[in-house]
């Protein structure tokens, strides 16, 4: 079975049409179609349902898709291993939005300097989404909020940052005025369904605070903009890259007890150990 044929199948699934897949892979539509048909004959199963203007994967194809992606990655890794350069190839890293702006730029800069042959493919997303992607083998590692449950032994967690909880407000607030200020103003709530948002919600519950909730949001940078525009207060972690200009940050009582921890999570037995060791070292040097 030719790996290139599997790559063409994945391209068709991702782009939604044979023509688009051919354009992406720099092939003719006829060549892509012939590759998929050859796979169908080899596997003895229909892989695509063809419509007038699009194609969709069959149930059998979707069942095979994770293993197909794995075969493609393993084939690419074989090529990288024969390259003669231990730090080459591609590593897929997931990152939450604040890590994308606060940590990833330095990682990219350092990696390009010491290992120019190593390509980092970045995947944005929420912590829960990235965790699932990691478990299913779609990512090599992820920078995310530490899970609110025990990490399985099949994964290795490296603590990168501790981010204490802060009251974010437009006006300065004294330490003794926090409770009154939270109750008096609308709350732009850090989404309680997110892993980081659970911590802020836990603080409110422990303190017995029931502020008026303006909206729920799992986008800390956007929350800061709304606070700066005077729409309300928020309880957020002090993330790396947080720009306090135009807003005020006040740590509530026991802020450290509700800190958000940013973790670099990857399989305990990684497929790219040298590359991940380099990334871990870079992150540890910027650990706070």
34-74 confidence digits (pLDDT tens) = 999 999 999 999 999 987 777 899 999 998 888 888 888 77
Maximum CA extent, the chain:
73
At 202 the pLDDT is 95
Which residue matches tokens 């695509």? 48
165-258: CATH, from 3.10.129.10, 3.40.50.10470, 3.40.190.10, 1.10.150.120? 3.40.190.10
User: Which residue blocks in 123-186 are alpha helix, DSSP H?
Assistant: 127-135, 178-184
Structure tokens, 169: 């407000």
* DSSP three-state, residue 243: coil
At 274 the pLDDT is 86
Provide the pLDDT confidence category of residue 80 given band limits of 50, 70 and 90: low
* DSSP three-state, residue 260: strand
pTM above 0.75, yes or no: no
At 182 the pLDDT is 92
How high does pLDDT run on average in the chain? 90
Let me know how long the chain is. Answer: 288
- In this predicted structure, the answer to whether residue 123 has a pLDDT above a threshold of 80 is yes
Provide the pLDDT confidence category of residue 285 given band limits of 50, 70 and 90: confident
For the chain, the structural domain boundaries read: 3-81, 89-160+262-285, 165-258
202-236 confidence digits (pLDDT tens) = 999 999 999 999 999 999 999 999 999 999 999 99
DSSP β-ladder status, 141-145 and 89-95:
parallel
153-164 confidence digits (pLDDT tens) = 999 999 999 999
Fold of domain 3-81: Arc Repressor Mutant, subunit A (1.10.10)
Structure tokens, 94: 């997931």
Class of domain 89-160+262-285: alpha beta
Cβ atoms < 10 Å from Cβ of 281: 11
286 against 24, higher pLDDT: 24
Q: Which of 28, 53, 52, 38 is nearest to 2 (CA)?
A: 38
Which residue matches tokens 């892979």? 25
Is the Cβ–Cβ distance between 160 and 283 less than 8 Å? yes
Q: Is the dihedral of CA 280, 285, 286, 288 positive or negative?
A: positive
Structure tokens, 55: 């194609």
Provide the pLDDT confidence category of residue 82 given band limits of 50, 70 and 90: low
Provide the pLDDT confidence category of residue 3 given band limits of 50, 70 and 90: confident
Domain 3-81 and domain 89-160+262-285, same fold? Reply is no
Q: What is the DSSP letter of 233?
A: B
User: Which residues touch 279 (CB under 8 Å, ≥6 apart)?
Assistant: 91, 93, 107, 111, 141, 264
Q: How far apart are CA 259 and CA 48, in angstroms?
A: 48
At 215 the pLDDT is 95
132-191 confidence digits (pLDDT tens) = 999 988 899 999 999 999 999 999 999 999 999 999 999 999 888 999 999 999 999 999
Burial category of 230 from C-beta neighbours within 10 Å (exposed 0-12, middle 13-18, buried 19 and up): exposed
> What percentage of the chain exceeds 90 in pLDDT?
65
Q: How far apart are CA 121 and CA 272, in angstroms?
A: 14
């Amino acid at each position: 079975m030719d790996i290139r044929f599997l790559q063409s199948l994945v391209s068709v699934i991702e782009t939604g049409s044979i023509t688009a897949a051919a354009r992406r892979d720099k092939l003719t539509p006829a060549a892509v179609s012939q590759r998929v048909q050859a796979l169908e004959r080899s596997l003895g199963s229909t892989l695509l349902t063809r419509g007038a203007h699009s194609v969709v994967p069959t149930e059998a194809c979707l069942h095979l898709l994770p293993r197909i992606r794995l075969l493609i990655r393993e084939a690419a890794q074989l090529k990288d291993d024969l390259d003669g350069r231990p730090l080459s190839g591609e590593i897929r890293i997931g990152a939450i939005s604040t890590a994308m702006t606060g940590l990833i730029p330095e990682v990219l800069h350092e990696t390009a300097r010491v290992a120019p042959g190593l390509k980092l493919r970045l995947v944005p997303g929420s912590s829960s989404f990235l965790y699932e992607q990691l478990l299913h083998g779609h990512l090599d590692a992820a920078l995310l909020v530490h899970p609110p449950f025990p990490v399985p032994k099949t994964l290795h967690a490296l603590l990168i940052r501790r981010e204490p909880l802060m009251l974010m407000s437009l006006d300065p607030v004294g330490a003794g005025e926090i409770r009154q200020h939270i109750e008096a103003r609308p709350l732009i709530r850090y989404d309680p369904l997110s892993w980081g948002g659970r911590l802020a919600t836990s603080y409110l519950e422990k303190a017995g605070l029931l502020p008026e909730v303006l909206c729920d949001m799992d986008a800390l940078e956007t929350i800061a903009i709304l606070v700066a525009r005077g729409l309300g207060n928020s309880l957020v972690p002090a993330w790396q890259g947080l720009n306090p200009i135009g807003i005020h940050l006040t740590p509530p009582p026991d802020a450290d007890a509700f800190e958000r921890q940013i973790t670099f999570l990857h399989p305990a037995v990684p497929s790219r150990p040298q590359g991940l060791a380099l990334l871990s070292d870079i992150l540890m040097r910027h650990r706070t």
